[in-house]
């Protein structure tokens, strides 16, 4: 479902040649359909760069990214935007629009796709149900807890009916109890909707509790990959 082939990313913060930072080196990764795959590593290891290369929020310097059989690195403009509908993403700080209600945050991607009001309603209300926020449709993000905000973000990420969900430190801003309930929701989504999930985290517990497979990233390189059971068993 997700395939990275020989992906490298070099940032040039002060223009080409000066102060270049290679954040990702020759990354190969395959995440089959239906898998929850965790990438774990220390701060600065390149996790965020890796996950942002999957939906081309960052364009890889070299290498190819293929999602659901389509090579994204070969696309640009409208074709890339279209392909991105198959990829949802959630973030550490939720990235909700504060001036929009819960309903309107979730409907935003559908509005941008040009979907009609009635169809949007039909899509959004079941999603709010799924994430347990049916009674919060008219509230604003400021009225919600962190866990509720992340539920809104999950509903928004699912609005375009993606095949893949990318989670960028999605529980790092939450307390342990709330983290547990968000991870449970992600597991339900994986099982009920068959969504493939790629997540990055610096927390072992997150990987242990929901991932099927795990990759370790260190200094821009994917250095190890294993089933979660094997990864946490001492040799």
Residue 174 gets the label, from left (phi > 0), alpha (psi -120 to 50) or beta, of beta
Size of the site for ligand ADP (CB under 6 A): 21
46 binds ligand ADP (CB under 6 A): yes
Q: For tokens 């597991």, what's the residue?
A: 187
What are 10's two structure tokens? 């070099």
Shortest distance, position 122 Cβ to ligand ADP, whole Å: 10
- Contacting ligand ADP (CB under 6 A), which of 27, 40, 45, 67? 45
Task: Check residue 11 for interaction with ligand ADP (CB under 6 A).
Answer: yes
DSSP 161-184: --SEEEEESTTTTS-HHHHHHHHH
Contact 143, 111 (CB under 8 A): no
Residues 67-106 that bind ligand ADP (CB under 6 A): 99-101, 103-104
Q: Which is nearer to ligand ADP, 46 or 88 (CB)?
A: 46
d(CA 158, CA 89): 9
Shortest separation between residue 46's beta carbon and ligand ADP, angstroms: 4
Instruction: Find out whether 36 and 210 touch, Cβ atoms under 8 Å.
Output: yes
Is 191 or 218 the residue whose CB approaches ligand ADP more closely? Answer: 218
Residue 194 as a binder of ligand ADP (CB under 6 A): the answer is no
Is 127 a binding residue for ligand ADP by CB under 6 A? The answer is no
The token duo for 72 is 């994204």
Residues near ligand ADP (CB under 6 A):
11, 13, 21, 23, 41, 43-49, 99-101, 103-104, 107, 121, 137-138
């Amino acid at each position: 479902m997700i395939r990275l082939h020989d992906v490298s990313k070099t940032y040039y913060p002060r223009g080409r040649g000066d102060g270049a930072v290679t954040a990702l080196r020759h990354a190969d990764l395959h995440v089959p359909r239906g898998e929850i795959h965790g990438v774990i590593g220390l701060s600065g290891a390149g996790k965020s760069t890796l996950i942002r290369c999957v939906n081309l929020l960052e364009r890889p310097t070299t290498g190819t990214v293929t999602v659901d059989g389509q090579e994204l690195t070969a696309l640009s403009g409208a074709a890339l935007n279209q392909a991105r509908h198959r990829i949802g993403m959630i973030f550490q700080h939720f990235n909700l629009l504060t001036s929009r209600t819960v309903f309107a945050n979730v409907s935003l991607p559908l509005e941008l796709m040009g979907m009609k009001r009635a169809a949007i309603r039909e899509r959004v209300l079941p999603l709010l149900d799924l994430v347990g926020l049916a009674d919060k449709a008219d509230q604003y993000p400021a009225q919600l807890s962190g866990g509720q905000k992340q539920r809104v973000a999950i509903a928004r990420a699912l609005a375009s009916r993606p095949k893949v969900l990318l989670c960028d430190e999605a529980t790092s801003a939450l307390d342990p109890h709330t983290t547990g309930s968000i991870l449970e929701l992600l597991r339900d989504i994986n099982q009920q909707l068959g969504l493939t999930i790629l997540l990055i985290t610096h927390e072992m517990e997150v990987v242990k509790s929901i991932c099927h497979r795990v990759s370790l990233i260190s200094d821009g390189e994917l250095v190890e990959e294993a089933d979660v059971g094997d990864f946490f068993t001492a040799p």
